[in-house]
A = this chain, B = another copy of it.
Amino acid sequence: MKIKVSALATICLSALLLVGCGKTSNDSSSNNDNTTTTKKASVRTTGDATDDEYQGVIENGHYKTSKSRGVGVQQDSENMLNSKSFDVGMTDISKKFFSTKSYVFQEGQYLSKSTVQDWLGRKSKDNPDGLNPESNGNGSNRNPMYIQQIGEQDYMKDNDGKLSLAGMTIGIGMNRKDYYQKEEYGATYTQSISKEKMVEEGKIAAKKVLERVRKIDGVSNDTPIVIAMFEQAPNDSLVGGTFYAYAVSNSGTDLGDWKNLDLKNVTFPETSTNSVPNSNDEKNFENFKNKIQNFFPNLAGVTAQAQYDGKTLKSMNVSITTQFYSETEIISFTQYVAQAAQSYLPNKIPIDIQILGSDGKTQAFLSRDSGEGKFSSHVFTGF
């Protein structure tokens, strides 16, 4: 665990924690964050967790949440997995341009909730900024909703304890399926959108978004802005969508060339509607699954989510669910899973394994980073 931002920021954080500690020892029920509100604001970050993650911004003891916080959550019909994939994928692309060592992550502060809501709506007299096409009713030639979500991430530089905007990533989530009801609470109809049409509409939206973001107060003409295009997974998918392209505007409204990505999220085991790009991986997973599922007299369920870049498996999250009859069974099972994973699951990629009880609660957890030889494991015991 290394310190990644300037020593100054770290010292500030430590100071804050110590001040808070001294203060609240006398009054343990009060909120000690108030002790800093009268001070001149200075840069504080969330500290360091692992080496390749950004630090976040703390202001007056509170996390600086996104100005459009919760917009995605209101779209409750949407596949929630898309929301996770969107956030994680956007951060992954950002790391190509804004190193975790030099930049501090700030939740989007330039697009407000109402702005994002307006942009995600249909264009109309009342909503001239709507990025989705005007409504033409819900007939057979309905204009689909192409744009599903918009996210903003800010990348800050620390100049003598003051953060300034030094980069931005805007993610745009594009639909391949347009879901709609003809009447409220009625049946849901689905219209497919071709890959080509999605890409085309995405480019149009990206250009508009870039032009608008450049005009926002505080965004300078030469702040690098990454626009990242995300293909939403269908609502019934067991994995979230993936980013399919990105482009960088180094200044003005010039977007530069589009760089395509070939990411695919899959589930294991393979099914007729969910194919895995590399059949060897499927075989290895089946071997692992067979090894695991008959460990106890009662069967264990073994599934995985994984991400491919082309034909190459990049990382894997395994879930194992079984009924345990004692804590010692959990400990033994966890040891066994570590051995079997070592033997059967692909080498040199990061793998997470969660072991869940029949109540759905996490009982144990194993992980191996890409560079590590062995799995580390942890059993969640209780008192």
Contact = CB atoms under 8 A, between A and B. Distances in A.
A81 interface: yes
Given A296-B65, A378-B367, A383-B240, A70 B325 contact: yes
Given A46-B336, A265-B383, A306-B383, 8 more contacts: A17-B343, A25-B283, A61-B295, A83-B327, A317-B381, A317-B383, A352-B378, A354-B380
A87 B240 contact: no
Interface stretch (A27-35, A188-196, A245-253): A27-35
Contact of A332 (B18, B56, B339): B56
A295 B382 CA distance: 27
A383 B29 contact: no
Contacts of A17: 291, 339-340, 343-344
Nearest to A326: B87
A31 B336 CA distance: 16
Interface stretch (A47-55, A132-140, A177-185, A199-207): A47-55
A84 to B, nearest CB: 4
B286 A29 contact: yes
Interface residues of A, number: 96
A271 to B, nearest CB: 13
A362 interface: yes
Contacts of A83: 326-327
Given A21-B287, A24-B290, A365-B378, A331 B53 contact: yes
Given A31-B290, A84-B381, A377-B50, A295 B25 contact: no
Contacts of A31: 290, 293-294
Contacts of A105: 328, 332
A212 interface: no
A32 B287 contact: yes
Given A338-B47, A383-B306, A295 B327 contact: no
B88 A327 contact: yes
A62 interface: yes
18 contacts: A17-B340, A18-B343, A20-B287, A28-B286, A32-B290, A32-B291, A49-B334, A49-B335, A56-B328, A65-B329, A70-B325, A83-B326, A84-B381, A84-B383, A87-B326, A107-B326, A107-B328, A239-B383
B62 A296 contact: yes
Contacts of A283: 24-25, 28
Contacts of A296: 62-63, 65
A1 interface: yes
A55 B35 CA distance: 51
A69 interface: yes
Contacts of A32: 287, 290-291
A338 B10 CA distance: 13
Nearest to A45: B335
A287 B61 CA distance: 13
A314 to B, nearest CB: 10
Contact of A61 (B294, B325, B379): B294
A13 interface: yes
A85 B382 CA distance: 6
Nearest to A314: B383
A32 B20 CA distance: 58
